[in-house]
Structure 1
Amino acid sequence: MKFTGIVPALVTPFDDRQEVDEQALAQLIDSLIAAGVHGLFVLGTNGEFFALSEAEKLRIARLTVELADGRVPVIAGTGAFATRDVIELNKKMSDVGIQALSVITPFFNAVSQSELIGHYTSIADASSLPIMLYNIPAKTGMSIGVPAVATLSQHPMIKGIKDSAGNFDSLVQMMRYRSDEFAVFAGTDSLIYWNLLAGGDGAVAATANAVPHVVMDIWKHFQAGNHDAARAAQEALRPLRDAFALGTMPSVLKKATDLLNVSVGPCRAPVAALDESTVHRLEGLLSVYRA
């Protein structure tokens, strides 16, 4: 597959017992595909991959592939600290029908850039599926440096990067290594338009769970050459993005998705539901999407 377009980073729907809600997942997937998205990204940060067992990850991946039913490709997050663990999970993801892999940097224990290159190279050497690097230093405590991107972009199985550092200058520097074989994706939703303007290929967008049509408008207007409308759609994401500060990730996004799209239930403990007053504040911020 080729990494391009708008790919929502799906939240993982749970029921009241904090178990995977298959019906809600089906509704979420259908709503996103109906909005015109170009793929689905499961088991990412907003998908609470860190709170899921391996068995649950494989079940969610299999369900997503089945529910997508060939309409769009499915990318699964498979990152772990240990290189061998990523390699083993990647093989299992291939078996359940995933079309591509997203591998977050090692976390908790920051490794050197040379160790990071070795980590990704070993994973890519062992992979039968295309790989998207995933950079989110605010959560992992380390970043993929631009020189490492330059090196890794040459590997035939490493086909792109999702950069969630929120640093536009670094994103622009990565564009030097963008090619038909290596895509540069915005992973920070406030930079979707700007990434496209700089020559990037698209975005892995968590806000699409709640407001898929707004996110798709950025892409559609940009492709049509209507930059004023694309920028306006980008700005329209600001109230939702600002609301994220109201709770622990991804509690606000999940509640916003409940309110604006489909019900996806709670987060896994210890992340708690928003209290009544916070929900009221969130509803006020989201009122712009109901006009």
Structure 2
Amino acid sequence: MRLIVEKFKGIFPAFYACYDEEGNISESRTKQFANYLVSKGIQGLYVGGSSGECIYQNLEERKLTLRYVAEAVGHQITLIAHVGAPSTRDSIELAKYAEQLGYDALSAIPPIYFVLPEDSIYHYWTDILESTNLPFIIYNIPQTTGYNLSIQLLNRMLQHGKVIGVKNSSMPVMDIERFKTASSNNLILFNGPDEQFVAGRLMGADSGIGGTYAVMVELFLKANEFISSGDIARAQQIQSDINSIIIALCSLNGSMYSAIKEVLKKNNMDIGSVRKPLQPVTGEDLQKIDEIKAMIDQAIAKY
């Protein structure tokens, strides 16, 4: 277990969808962006999740992103494939494909749209993890799925030896402690909400997976460094700056991911726009992108 934990410790940006000018998955932009993030010193990538706009893509598009990332950086860092989909059949197809590509682990949200009993969620996750030899990471994000992982279901899932962790994106940091305690500290816990990265780590999270990491990787790497060295005061300071940036990214009329992609363009990293129904940042809001970029640059320079 120790070797597995070490492999999954650190900062794991949630990978963004990379489109060409026509809105199709771009091989060159996907690979360029993956290499860009690796050059920043990250420990791994979480590919195909919410930040990757997975629910707005078909299976073939999701496979393309998984393949392009693996081809670009698969031998350099730890790769986690998010394979959650509305149907078990599609999730298994993605899981098997990720295994073929050499991914290190699978992850999945619960099924969405229909309100399912816990027994159905149990069988959904079980069907996925039994379809490959890869370890599995439960993804708990109740604010979008409507289901909050219970200790009862967690304990039931832990009977499968391949369940190694939980990516917890619920807002109460107490959930991280409860999941850790329920597993007798034998789970790898990933903090999900970027706004509480420091709190999540202090409450017992081993690592972090986040949707804003990739636009300000340096800040999360430094926050993690402060926590590891015991400099909690500076970790709290950097979290405050991170939160101010996140609030600014969410203050525009367009999608937060559109705002992030506009900031990345300012850093000479063009990965396209967002897919509808997500809305791009337009008009006067575009003028605020320079201000947000300046906030990020100033925070990076500070630390």
TM over 0.5: yes
Q: CA deviation at 1:80?
A: 1.6
TM-score when scaled to structure 2?
0.89
CA distance in 2, matches of 1:261, 1:161: 34
Preserved contact between residue 245 and residue 295 of structure 2 (Cα < 8 Å):
no
**Cα RMSD (Å) of the superposition?**
1.9
Q: CA deviation at 1:109?
A: 0.9
Q: CA deviation at 1:49?
A: 0.6
Q: CA deviation at 1:235?
A: 1.7
User: Which residue of 117, 137, 142 corresponds with 1:137?
Assistant: 142
Q: CA deviation at 1:253?
A: 2.5
Which residue pairs with 1:62 in the alignment? 67
User: Which whole-Å deviations, capped at 9, do the CAs of 1:196-235 have from their partners, x for residues lacking one?
Assistant: 1112111102212111101111111111221122222222
CA distance in 2, matches of 1:112, 1:253: 36
Q: CA deviation at 1:58?
A: 1.4
Between 1:210-219 and 1:178-187, the stretch displaced more is 178-187
Preserved contact between residue 162 and residue 204 of structure 1 (Cα < 8 Å):
yes
User: Which whole-Å deviations, capped at 9, do the CAs of 1:243-273 have from their partners, x for residues lacking one?
Assistant: 2242335222322332346222101123232
Which residue pairs with 1:229 in the alignment? 234
* Secondary structure at 1:19 match in 2: coil
Which stretches in structure 2 are left out of the alignment for 5+ residues?
299-303
CA distance in 1, matches of 2:132, 2:74: 23
| Matching of residue 203 in structure 1 with residue 203 in structure 2 | no
Preserved contact between residue 44 and residue 78 of structure 2 (Cα < 8 Å):
yes
CA distance in 2, matches of 1:112, 1:92: 28
Q: CA deviation at 1:150?
A: 2.7
* Secondary structure at 2:287 match in 1: helix
User: Which residue of 288, 291, 295 corresponds with 1:288?
Assistant: 295
User: Which residue of 112, 115, 123 corresponds with 2:128?
Assistant: 123
| Matching of residue 276 in structure 1 with residue 270 in structure 2 | no
Distance 1:158 1:193, change over 3 A: same
CA distance in 1, matches of 2:275, 2:120: 32
User: Which whole-Å deviations, capped at 9, do the CAs of 1:121-155 have from their partners, x for residues lacking one?
Assistant: 23223331111111122222222223222322342
Which residue pairs with 1:149 in the alignment? 154
Distance 1:217 1:189, change over 3 A: same
- Matched residue type, 1:244: C
Preserved contact between residue 8 and residue 39 of structure 1 (Cα < 8 Å):
yes
Which residue pairs with 1:254 in the alignment? 261
Task: Output aligned runs, 1:1-291, within 5 Å.
Answer: 1-2=4-5, 3-178=8-183, 181-242=186-247, 243-246=249-252, 247-260=254-267, 262-291=269-298
Which stretches in structure 1 are left out of the alignment for 5+ residues?
none
CA distance in 1, matches of 2:107, 2:251: 26
CA distance in 2, matches of 1:16, 1:81: 28
Aligned length: 291
Q: CA deviation at 1:159?
A: 1.0
